[in-house]
Amino acid sequence: MRRALTALGALALVGAGVAWWLTAPDPLPEEELAALQGDAARGRTIFAAAGCASCHVAPDSPTTDAPVLAGGQRFVTQFGTFVAPNISPSPQGVGDWTDAQVMNAVLRGVSPEGRHYYPAFPWNAYNKADPQDVADLVAHLRTLPPSDAESLPHEVPFPFNIRRSLGGWKLLFMQTDWVIAGDLTPEQERGRYLVEALGHCGECHTPRNILGGLRTSAWLSGAPDPSGTGHNPNITPAGLQWSEADIVAMLQSGFTPDFDVVGGEMSEVVANTAQLTDEDRQAIAAYLKAVPPIESAAPEPGTGDSTAEE
Amino acid sequence: MRRLTKIACLAATALTATSALAQDQSPEQTALEIRQGHMLNYAANLGVVGGMARGDREYDAAAAQVAADNLLHLASINQSYYWPEGTSNADMEESRALPAIWENMADFDAKQETLLQAVTALQAAAGTDLATLQGAMGAVGQSCGGCHEDYRESDE
């Protein structure tokens, strides 16, 4: 009996050890990233495509050419309230970080201290970005005005405040491959890159499971708005019966085919997509047409989704 | 006979009109329908100038001017009676107006003013030529989106 207990204890220890190892943050090697030279001019487009300013400018800031990424916007979710940090080039922001540290935050969701970031920061999309694009993005970030605003702590209750548990979340839900695989044209591939990686469209348009992981089997088929009211539309061909030209026009002007104008977070998105080239907007439209048509998913119990059936 | 039919039609129309304004409809419901009709009116006229701007229909200076004039009329209406308390999406199922409107009425009014400025510029530009019309459309879309961003519920 004692032997059995000892064995069990040893097994538990090994299990805990493996779990600790498995949940460890996994940054890319500093030397590998430091070798990349960033181009700030190219980075401006990457910055727009990735939508950085939408979340990182101070609340109610107007969209400008050189946004101040002071942070402070609050994102209320069922797991707690996340507060966007200052990522401007200042001591309170990322001014003292190395380029590789900023790149690891974007590409791996790992902080300079080696801690996991919450997935409210869409590293689970950015992890599919080309490291050269991220180097360019960082070079552009360095040109923006500094802010001395202190980043505010997230308001996240137990157990979600245990950062290490995010290692488990990453094990379960990290999406390092493209959701839409298979044969795509070069244009559709470009669109996939813009939608699945930089644009992180799935973060709002794909339903989540009870732990906040994206249900990739229902990719882009619509989801409740995280604010608690409203529903972000199904943008697969089953939900969005627009022509490619309609999609391109909306991404450029905000006008839908009915000459309604999109609102909510999508207004911010249009402010970004309006800065892309027509070719890139066309690529997004081509990709959206290639996504499998999926009817809006039935809500999972406990996800607070009461509107998906509407 | 034709005359009779005409009278019957008129009577039917009058009846319908009366019932729409009947006392069994709440003032909140009326305000909601006025708002939604107002928005549809924007969309119908934006469809004309927007369709020309994006090349879906041929540029026609006179038609563009009519639509832009209409938009200016619409944007000029004093909407104070459109937005009574108790007509947010928390109060009415068909409403997409967020409660934030009533918490930030000054900002809400300022956004209406932004639209008025954009539409005033559009009205001056629409009849000139296509390029001028196109140049004025961006600000109109942005002003619509600026208000929808903060004050309208996301929906399918």
8 Å CB contact of A253 and B141: yes
pLDDT (tens digit per residue) in B31-47: 999 999 999 999 999 99
Let me know if A233 is exposed, middle or buried by CB neighbors in 10 A (0-12, 13-18, 19+): buried
Mean pLDDT of A3-11: 72
8 Å CB contact of B145 and A231: no
Confidence of residue A235 (pLDDT cuts 50, 70, 90): very high
B62, part of any domain: yes
Using the Cβ of A270 and the Cβ atoms of chain B, whether some distance falls under 8 Å is answered with yes
A253, A258, A265: residue with CB nearest B138: A253
Q: Are residues A221 and A149 in the same domain?
A: no
In this structure, are strands A80-83 and A223-224 parallel, antiparallel, or unpaired?
A: unpaired
Last residue within a domain, chosen from A141, A173, A205: A173
Using the Cβ of B151 and the Cβ atoms of chain A, whether some distance falls under 8 Å is answered with yes
Q: Are residues A208 and A111 in the same domain?
A: no
Q: Are residues A201 and A148 in the same domain?
A: no
Q: Are residues A190 and A153 in the same domain?
A: no
Place of tokens 């001014």: A95
CA angle B101, B107, B112 (to 5 degrees): 90
A305, part of any domain: no
Q: Are residues A97 and A190 in the same domain?
A: no
Cβ contacts of B22 within 8 Å, gap of 6 or more: none
Q: Are residues A201 and A103 in the same domain?
A: no
CATH code (residue A250): 1.10.760
Q: Are residues A161 and A35 in the same domain?
A: yes
- Give the pair of three-digit tokens for residue A261: 């104008």
Last residue within a domain, chosen from A135, A151, A173: A173
Asked whether the beta carbons of B154 and A225 are under 8 A apart, the reply is yes
Give buried/exposed letters for A11-32 (b at 16+ CB in 10 A, else e): eeeeeeeeeeeebebebeeeee
Q: What is the pTM of this model?
A: 0.87
A77, part of any domain: yes
B52, part of any domain: yes
A307, part of any domain: no
Q: Are residues A154 and A211 in the same domain?
A: no
Asked whether the beta carbons of A307 and A226 are under 8 A apart, the reply is no
Confidence of residue A116 (pLDDT cuts 50, 70, 90): very high
Question: Is pLDDT of B135 > 90?
Answer: yes
Q: Are residues A134 and A233 in the same domain?
A: no
| Domains identified in chain B, total number | 1
Q: What is the pLDDT of residue A300?
A: 56
Asked whether the beta carbons of A116 and A136 are under 8 A apart, the reply is no
CATH code (residue B32): 1.20.120.10
- Give the pair of three-digit tokens for residue A103: 């790149």
Question: Is pLDDT of A9 > 70?
Answer: yes
What is the extent of the structural domain holding A139?
27-173
Asked whether the beta carbons of B112 and B144 are under 8 A apart, the reply is no
Q: Are residues A46 and A138 in the same domain?
A: yes
Asked whether the beta carbons of A114 and A96 are under 8 A apart, the reply is no
Q: Are residues A224 and A132 in the same domain?
A: no
pLDDT (tens digit per residue) in A117-168: 999 999 999 999 999 999 999 999 999 999 999 999 999 998 888 888 899 8
Asked whether the beta carbons of B44 and A239 are under 8 A apart, the reply is no
Using the Cβ of B144 and the Cβ atoms of chain A, whether some distance falls under 8 Å is answered with yes
A181, part of any domain: no
Q: Are residues A214 and A251 in the same domain?
A: yes
Using the Cβ of B55 and the Cβ atoms of chain A, whether some distance falls under 8 Å is answered with no
CATH code (residue A69): 1.10.760.10
What is the extent of the structural domain holding B45?
27-151
What is the Cα–Cα distance from A55 to A101, expressed in whole angstroms? 20
8 Å CB contact of A239 and B43: no
What is the Cα–Cα distance from B113 to A53, expressed in whole angstroms? 26
Asked whether the beta carbons of A43 and A137 are under 8 A apart, the reply is yes
% of residues, chain A, pLDDT over 70: 94
A234, A259, A268: residue with CB nearest B50: A259
Nearest chain B alpha carbon to A229: B153
Q: At what angle do helices B27-53 and B61-76 cross, to 10 degrees?
A: 150
Chain A, 224 to 263: residues with Cβ < 8 Å from chain B are 225, 227, 229-234, 239, 249, 253-255, 258-263
Min Cα–Cα distance to chain A from B146, Å:
7
Name the amino acid, one letter, at B130. L
| Domains identified in chain A, total number | 2
